[in-house]
Amino acid sequence: MTRKVAFLFLGETLLIPHLYPIVEALVAIAPDLPVELWVSTSMHEALLGAWVRDAEMTTVRIRRAPGFRSVAGYADGRNPPLPAKLPMLIRLAPYLARTAVVVCAEQTSLWLPAMLPLRTRFIDTFHGAGSMMARGHWRRRAGWRTLVAAERDRGALIEGGDDPARIITTGYVKAGFRQRTPPARLFADAKPIIVYNPHWQAHRSSWWRWGPEIVERILADGRFNLIFAPHQRLVERAPAVSAFVASLEGRSGVHCDLDSFAMVDGSYTAAADLYLGDTSSQVVEYLMRPRPCVFLNALDADWQGDASYAMWEAGEVVETLATLIPAIERAPTRHADYIPFQDRFVREALGDVSGDAPDRAARVVVAALRR
């Protein structure tokens, strides 16, 4: 078995910012260690390859996984059509069996240590902002270590039967992701930026009842720049969104995005001065740096005391469209009232967001090399 580390970039683009910062941190603390980045498509290859070359990381090698797919027209980092993952993993297993440590950001790759007698140590790092869905699956326990952002996640896994020694709290790795789109490239002027981020499920979203009117009211007001960047799955549930976005083309003060890499890398939540949304978990990432929020109760939810709406304590809740612009106007001056909740909310959901999490994760990788 070779003393090297493999990172698996085989899945959706949203996984990349949860994994790549660990690559950078590992190269910084172990500059002579061979590192392989296994990729499933030409989009992954181009995106990661450019970052590796720009950083002159000579010990890092991009490798095409068996079943690698070349895709055209995805240079902007849009989610490409992916090869079937399980057949790819089966064919990749002989290569990984000769690798000391494998790092992944999704559960599917853990079928390998769960089903095969590998000596390779698998390290799984959680992705997502504060969600515990399916995190207790038994195949996760086949990994050598599981990295979680917050103590809340660690406690939940231990309560579900995980060995406490296996679960390590690192903080939020994505907070250390550096390859974001600068705000200056989005708008020509310096007006305050609002990001509108409606949920993709109709029973939780403001889009179906209020969405287009929200956009039009903000643009008509003229005092703000608007990023309209809903969840990527909104288009499949509401195909008319594409036509609506096309109708906004050429209008000043609005930047629309339905599927680029900036949708998942944190660019828009980092650039915004105010978050406008309903129940999307992206508000958690936005609040890594506490800022004003306005929430949209388009469905007349009885939300107070309901855990599904816990984030609505982070800002004013709009009950009618007539109060939208006044709430946006008030948000900066009222923000101080919400800062204590915002700080506590992010700390519980994401743990440390200082940017040090990738270094902590990389040190776990180095420890795994010591047999």
Alpha-helix runs per DSSP H in 33-159: 42-54, 85-96, 111-115, 151-159
Q: Strand ranges (DSSP E) for the chain?
A: 2-9, 35-41, 60-69, 99-104, 121-125, 145-148, 167-169, 193-197, 225-228, 254-256, 274-277, 293-296, 316-318
Q: Please report the DSSP string for 302-315 in residue order.
A: --TT-GGGGGGGGS
Closest CA to 197 of 264, 253, 246: 264
Domains in the chain (CATH in brackets) are 2-172+352-368 (3.40.50.2000), 183-350 (3.40.50.2000)
Q: pLDDT digit of tens for each residue in the chain (371 aa)?
A: 579 999 999 999 999 999 999 999 999 999 999 999 999 999 999 999 999 999 999 999 999 999 999 999 888 788 899 999 999 999 999 999 999 999 999 889 999 999 999 999 999 998 866 544 445 567 888 899 999 999 999 998 999 889 999 999 999 999 999 998 776 678 988 899 999 999 999 999 999 999 999 999 999 999 999 999 998 889 889 999 999 999 999 999 999 999 889 988 999 999 999 999 999 989 999 999 999 999 999 999 999 999 889 999 999 999 999 999 999 999 999 999 999 999 999 999 999 999 999 999 999 999 999 86
Asked if residues 99 and 1 have their Cβ atoms less than 8 Å apart, the reply is yes
Per-residue pLDDT, 69: 97
Question: Which pLDDT belongs to residue 61?
Answer: 98
pLDDT of residue 132: 45
Token pair 């809903």 in the structure block, residue: 230
d(CA 224, CA 327): 13
Are the CB atoms for 280 and 199 separated by under 8 Å? yes
- Can you name the residues that pair with 148 across neighbouring β-strands? 169
- Which residue's entry shows tokens 């579900």? 160
Residue pointed to by tokens 């007349």? 300
Beta-ladder partners of 168? 147
- Asked whether 298 and 206 are in contact (CB, 8 A), the reply is yes
